[in-house]
Amino acid sequence: MEATAWAGVYRDGRDLYTVNRGPPGDRVYGERLRRDGATEYRMWDPFRSKLAAVLTRGAPNDLFAGVGSVLYLGGAHGTTVSHLSDVVPEADLFVVEKSPTAFAPLLALARRRANIFPILADAQLPERYRADTGLVDLLYQDVAQRNQAAIFAENARVALGPGGRGLFMLKIRSVTQSRPAGAIVREARDEIESAGLRVTSEIPLAPFARDHVALFVRPAPRR
């Protein structure tokens, strides 16, 4: 097992792994476990997790550097949340999910890990949870909604710290079926930038997640 450029993420050949910070032997979504000495690793499947996909496609090396708190929008059952919990074990992960059905397994996951704080809420209304999260270092969004750029911009306004960073998994066809993908990505970028943020890079997630582009975002410097 080799360390990668992202602290907390490991590699064996092309496969990514994280160190299991949950109970020993605990599988979150049927992932493969592997023991190396006293350490247990969980295989991180880029076809199941867009965060693993973006690392495989080449995310900035400092993505997790100095991250002490995360606001994660669209936690679903906790597949990616569980790996992020492994990667930044000292960070607080505030995970927003609006579906009660998805929230139940997320809550069960949080009971097995000390750094996950699930919030049953609509990410369109960040004022309702800002008192719980405070300002965060990393805003991660994967909600697959028509107004996903507006949701990202509003959460960044309310909860992203001045030195923070954002990672927005844009699902192109959730916006509209009828216009070219390039135009939809451009519009999402424009919407984010007109909210005072700066898109620093853009990575398509194919073949791992079709129809998705990851946007890396920073607060724009104050003039």
Residue among 39 and 99 whose Cβ is closer to ligand SAM: 99
Sign of CA dihedral 38, 114, 139, 212: positive
158 binds ligand SAM (CB under 6 A): no
Q: Per CB under 6 A, does 104 bind ligand SAM? A: no
The token pair that represents 58 in the structure block: 């080449």
174 binds ligand SAM (CB under 6 A): no
CB-based closest residue to ligand SAM: 74
Q: Is 142 in the site for ligand SAM (CB under 6 A)?
A: yes
**Using rule CB under 6 A, residue 123 touches ligand SAM:** yes
Backbone angles phi, psi at 94, to 5 degrees: -95, 120
Query: Is 79 a binder of ligand SAM (CB under 6 A)?
Result: yes
Of positions 43, 145, 161, 181, contacts ligand SAM by CB under 6 A? 145
> How far is Cα 88 from Cα 70, in angstroms, rounded to an integer?
9
Burial 114-147 (b: 16+ CB within 10 A, else e): ebbbbbbbebeebeebeeebeebbbbbbbbbbee
Footprint on this chain of ligand SAM (rule: CB under 6 A): 49-50, 73-74, 76, 79-80, 96-99, 102, 122-124, 142-145
